[in-house]
Structure 1
């Protein structure tokens, strides 16, 4: 782009008989640039406007935010990237502000500017765990009004992983804990929880004997958040928010539990790419987490028994965590109890005979527990 002074000089030199090449050398510009300004194809001080890459997606974004005013910009960005948007995230957010796409929300304005506390977390010292209640799961899951996601986060690096669980009872908690620490690549020296009744006595915060056995099995200490004192699990709560906004809000009907689990796994791995600046050097959450020294996880999970009820199909099968278990013929439509002691075979038995020997047993497949 030529300045007005350069444009005046170029026209003056041209009238004096200078060639375009000579003018270009004199002004230190490209010959085509000089030619465009002399021909009036370009105007000094004005850059050529590139096509607005956001324009084709404007109406879609308006509709999405009208339907869900609190939808995260990152979630919406993920969606239009899949639709073919070529711009960057910062360009996208500027376009949202320029076009006033997001509806105004007065309650949200009052939450800005709150004081925050920075808590130091040594590497490999702690994993923060928390349950995330997921409303209105697909009916095919058969889990009722809520699905349950156990999220575990390393507060030093910010890496997190999560596991879907059918229930929040003790057995499902232990199963999910084991899977989360394996997804993280190891366990920190201490585990932090809020006052879950499956971990401690809520009134006193003292760890239960049952969970103490779990902690000793994995060789970790247990910290319980003090009553009525928040902000002790801020990293995992932020991870919960990310999982809810960027994954759960986009889960379509008809998705299986296994497919949904793959989706949250992809999101967690994607968020390892978040950029960080540490001691003046650029890095990512994933690189920072890889440098954390974690303890090895036992070769087999803690031997707790998980049990759920299932309905027998006309093919005399029951499904459980990606596996199919066969039962004797003639039980189609019957509710049976599927039992699985972590690290062992699957078993199933009719609810009326739960104390009797199992009617069938099958080893879990590679994708199962």
Structure 2
């Protein structure tokens, strides 16, 4: 302010610099508007500058995602070469106002009161289904995919597994796979009132799931009705899975590739989070190593069933692979049945007839498994249908004109009588009808000839009578 005031009085830049004890170049840049008071100029180039346009496009309201988490966007630009820290990144987002303002989100919600529940190590695993909208059409799972999330509240470690359905066999399979990823089984399992675990009205564990809990040696706790925030650890894991993984999942991935991407994110970013436990800072991985989890038993022998349609190539799809069946069932809906823990799957008709048994391959490997007898039967049927066994296929260049019946029908349709023969008339009937008139006709001819009977006349030299 003082430099501008002295300049307005007519002072020179050198006089102002001597008066204020500053360099003349500094005074000149402030007076010319090249520098702003309170903002220091950077001596090094801004590392965020090359990524401004990418962040703007990712957070754009029309073509991007204005609600994308800053942590997710930070991971993306780090992979693109950003060398700055997370705090510098968020400060750059705020100073440049790259995130659009959302009035709907700003006016919604409010403070929520909650209490922290103590969880000893290895005491509990919290489970929950997360429904994921907009599943890729290539998966064939319908409009939504399903993710079973399991979280250890003491350490904060969580893992999740994709599933086609939320029925009990898929729940049991996903429970086993998540427990493998967590490293074992805790003392108790906590669920909300899902129908595959308990009776929603009473909260009592069903007999079928009680056998599962007994098999793995875990007690089951069901959250009371209308009392939320009883499994906040898994709910926060659901939030992270939806925002950090599913929201940015690219198109064109198979379920197996999406699962590997989720496992890699959990190991790379989820387990390195810092937690304060009993006043000590440690990573999630360090805290998880302290949890006394029991070794995992063999998979519970639940039976998975899907109902695919047999393709014209006598194949059925199951978990990203194709298995052969005998020919003659194309277009029919069959049941693929697999018992967990078994290496064999069965293909069964609607009446319960077993069509084929195959060794199950790794899910979503794109394998094509054909039994030799199915291949031979399919080839024999195809060759017979094409005429290879009865003299070869029909000639494609033979001359086959229209038949007489076809030509007659064409003439009839066109109103033509081409080629019709005149009808043959039998005159015997006319001769028989004319005999009674013969005497009268002879008399008239005789009178005309001068009274000489017809048989008495003699022919002349020309042969005429």
Same fold (TM over 0.5): yes
Aligned equivalents of 1:183 and 1:368: distance in 2?
A: 19
Q: Does 1:272 align with 2:271?
A: yes
Q: Normalising by structure 1, what TM-score?
A: 0.81
Counterpart secondary structure, 1:250: coil
Counterpart secondary structure, 2:59: helix
- Superposition map of 1:201-216 within 5 A: 201-216=199-214
- The gaps in structure 1 that reach 5 residues or longer are 1-44
Query: Could you tell me which residue of structure 2 aligns to residue 242 of structure 1?
Result: 240
Pair 1:322–1:184, CA change in 2 (3 A): farther
Q: Is the 8 A contact 2:347 2:357 kept in 1?
A: no
Q: Highest CA radius of gyration, 1 or 2? A: 2
Aligned equivalents of 1:259 and 1:152: distance in 2?
A: 20
Aligned equivalents of 2:192 and 2:312: distance in 1?
A: 43
Aligned equivalents of 1:254 and 1:72: distance in 2?
A: 23
CA drift of 1:100 comes to: 1.3
- Superposition map of 1:215-364 within 5 A: 215-270=213-268, 271-298=270-297, 300-353=298-351, 355-356=352-353, 358-364=354-360
CA drift of 1:265 comes to: 1.1
Q: Is the 8 A contact 2:304 2:337 kept in 1?
A: yes
Select which of 85, 96, 99 maps to 1:99.
Answer: 96
Q: Is the 8 A contact 2:132 2:242 kept in 1?
A: yes
Query: Could you tell me which residue of structure 2 aligns to residue 80 of structure 1?
Result: 77
Runs of 4+ in 1 over 6 A off after TM superposition: none
Q: Normalising by structure 2, what TM-score?
A: 0.65
Query: Could you tell me which residue of structure 2 aligns to residue 6 of structure 1?
Result: none
Deviations 1:185-222 (A, max 9, x none): 10111000110001111111111111111111111110
Query: Could you tell me which residue of structure 2 aligns to residue 156 of structure 1?
Result: 154
Question: Size of the alignment, in residue pairs?
Answer: 322
Deviates more, 1:186-195 or 1:89-98: 89-98
Q: Is the 8 A contact 1:258 1:321 kept in 2?
A: no
CA-atom RMSD in angstroms: 2.2
Select which of 361, 367, 375 maps to 1:365.
Answer: 361
Q: Is the 8 A contact 1:336 1:348 kept in 2?
A: no
Q: Which structure's relative contact order is higher, taking Cα pairs within 8 Å and 6+ residues apart?
A: 1
Counterpart secondary structure, 2:307: strand
CA drift of 1:289 comes to: 0.4
Deviations 1:268-321 (A, max 9, x none): 2221111223344432101110111101111x2111100012234455433323
Counterpart secondary structure, 1:155: coil
Select which of 71, 79, 88 maps to 2:68.
Answer: 71
Query: Could you tell me which residue of structure 2 aligns to residue 21 of structure 1?
Result: none
Query: Could you tell me which residue of structure 2 aligns to residue 53 of structure 1?
Result: 47
Deviations 1:196-250 (A, max 9, x none): 0011111111111111111111111101111111111111011111111111112
Deviates more, 1:100-109 or 1:239-248: 100-109
